[in-house]
Amino acid sequence: MATPTAHTEAPAGKPAFPPFETQTYPSQLLWLALTFILLYVLMSKVALPRIGSILAARSKHIRDDLAAARRFKEQSDTANAAYEKSLADARARAQRIAAETREKQAADAETTNKRLEAELHEKLGAAEKSIAATRSAAMANVGTIAADTASAIVERLIGRAPRNTKSPPPWATS
């Protein structure tokens, strides 16, 4: 069995594939050159300028967007700095108000404490005077009570009352 061989020649009686015919090479090269030149001219005069203008417009749009983003970032940074300063001022003001309030309350408490201490000392002095008066009155009566008690005890023991019951005992006179 014979192996088929590949070849470019046409089988018997049929013409060859036109691009492979050697007598059409020059016209094919001419049309190739004309088509290439025509496409090159169309691309360079029509398509590439449009593409270039589109790329330039996009590039300008991107630059404008970046510039706007920088401006917005600067505005944001400025606003953030103002916010931080305002926050710090508010905190300082709050601390100052708290300190003033604490000082005022401490002064009020000190005033109240001094007033209450004065009232307590006054009441204590009055109570000491009252106790001293009561003690001196009681001590004045102790002699009489002691004499009466002693007289009652003696009367019970011996059956009769002692004679001098009006004079205080010697220990009560000092």
In a domain, 80, yes or no: yes
Identify residue 83 by its one-letter amino acid code. Y
Pinpoint the alpha helices (H) of the chain: 25-42, 48-158
Q: Which residues contact 173 (CB under 8 A, 6 or more apart)?
A: 143
Return per-residue pLDDT of the chain as tens, 174 residues.
555 555 555 556 677 777 788 888 899 999 999 999 999 999 999 999 999 999 999 999 999 999 999 999 999 999 999 999 999 999 999 999 999 999 999 999 999 999 999 999 999 999 999 998 888 887 777 778 877 888 888 888 888 877 764 555 555 555
User: By the 8 A CB rule, do 153 and 136 touch?
Assistant: no
In a domain, 83, yes or no: yes
In a domain, 74, yes or no: yes
In a domain, 161, yes or no: yes
Domain hosting residue 77, numbered range: 40-173
Q: How many domains does the chain have?
A: 1
How far, in Å, CA of 88 to CA of 105, rounded?
25
In a domain, 26, yes or no: no
In a domain, 10, yes or no: no
In a domain, 20, yes or no: no
